[in-house]
Structures are given as structure tokens and as C-alpha cells.
Chains A and B, each alone.
Chain A
């Protein structure tokens, strides 16, 4: 398995500002992902964070709004840019530890409230 930590755990932000969420895994992992979970909803994949290259975004999500970095095999960041109240959500980092496996683990999440 993989132990995943996220910072910050929660934040309250003003409209129009940006927040960067950090994700740290305790071991090298092949794949890292960012999900969003809106209140009372299930998880929606935002993007796959690719090590050393641009992230792969899902339909409805764009790099200008959600820039992602993954400088190495244990760390990734997600920035929520130019925030609006509709961005209020829980943002979850996830990782797949080993090549050839599809088992995926989640970090504790970042609860974001935009006023």
C-alpha cells in the first residue's frame, strides 16, 4: 500500500484567488491522480499527474484552471486557480503504487471553501 498525505487539510479562500494543494506519498509510485468530491457526490477524476510531463485532464477540466505538477515519483501539486464558490469541494490525491497493479489509495483530502 501507499501512505499519502496532503496539505493543507482545509482552507477558506476568497473568490478570485488561487490555492495550491500538495500531495506527498511515502514511497515511489507509478501513477498519481487528482479527484474532486463535491458535497454529497461521488469522486470525479480531474487529471492524471504525469511525472516529468504535462498532466492528462479529463473532460470538463482544463490546465488553466487546475494546473498540476509532478516533479518526481512521490510528490504532486494541484492548483485551483481564480476560484469561485463553485470550486468549493474536497480535493483528493490518489496513487497507484506499482506497475501492473490497478489498486489505488487515497490521501485524506483537502476541504476547500470559497467565499
Chain B
């Protein structure tokens, strides 16, 4: 079982709709959770962090964490073409970040 799993996609979402990205992790001792966005040919850019169960909102982005289910998600509301990218889930434990394989998101105008 991979430490951090994501659906690789591609996930296609119409412009203006909600994009939902999911991530599961295997280590119950994981301490914190991150979402990075990576445009093609660019390096990862941090967009959200979440530390406790529940929802955390930042603009059009909402991160959701359920530690009992070992599940993290990212919702993007009012999706824009500029949101088209690969989204990487990362899990922090013991001073290290472990990344999932990423979900490729395409917003269709």
C-alpha cells in the first residue's frame, strides 16, 4: 500500500463547477497535510495546509481532513481555466513530507 494515494486522473471539470480532489494516507501518525499545485514544467506551489479534523477555507479552496478515515480532500469552487494543473497531496510525519502521485485537473471552458 502506498503511503499517500491519489487518483491520477485526469479529472475534467467544467468552468465554474466544483472540482473535488481526494487523497488517502496510510500512516495514522501523520501530523499535518498539504496540497500543492504544480503547473506543467513548474515546481510545486503550496496552496493549502490543514492540521485538524474538519474544513479549512481559503478563498475558492477548501481543504477537508478526516483523520479517522485517513482522508484528505481539496475542493475548488468556481473552477477557472487557470486551475488546470496537477495537484499533489503531501503528508508530514517525522520531519519529512511524503507526496502522492498527483491528480491532473483540467478545467474545460
Contacts and interface: CB of A to CB of B under 8 A. Distances in A.
A42 B38 CA distance: 10
B60 interface: no
27 contacts: A31-B95, A41-B101, A42-B88, A42-B101, A42-B102, A43-B44, A43-B88, A43-B99, A45-B96, A45-B97, A45-B98, A48-B95, A48-B96, A92-B43, A102-B31, A102-B92, A102-B97, A103-B46, A103-B49, A104-B34, A104-B97, A106-B43, A106-B44, A106-B45, A107-B43, A108-B43, A109-B42
Nearest to A109: B43
Report, nearest first, the 6 A-B pairs whose CB atoms are least far apart: A106-B43, A42-B101, A102-B92, A43-B99, A42-B99, A109-B43
Interface string A23-63: 00000000100000000011101001000000000000000
B32 interface: yes
Interface in B47-96: 49, 88, 92, 95-96
Interface of B: 31-32, 34, 36, 42-46, 49, 88, 92, 95-102
Contacts of B100: 42
Contacts of B42: 108-109
Interface size bucket, A side? 10 to 19
A48 B94 CA distance: 12
A6 to B, nearest CB: 9
A115 B31 CA distance: 41
Contacts of A105: 46
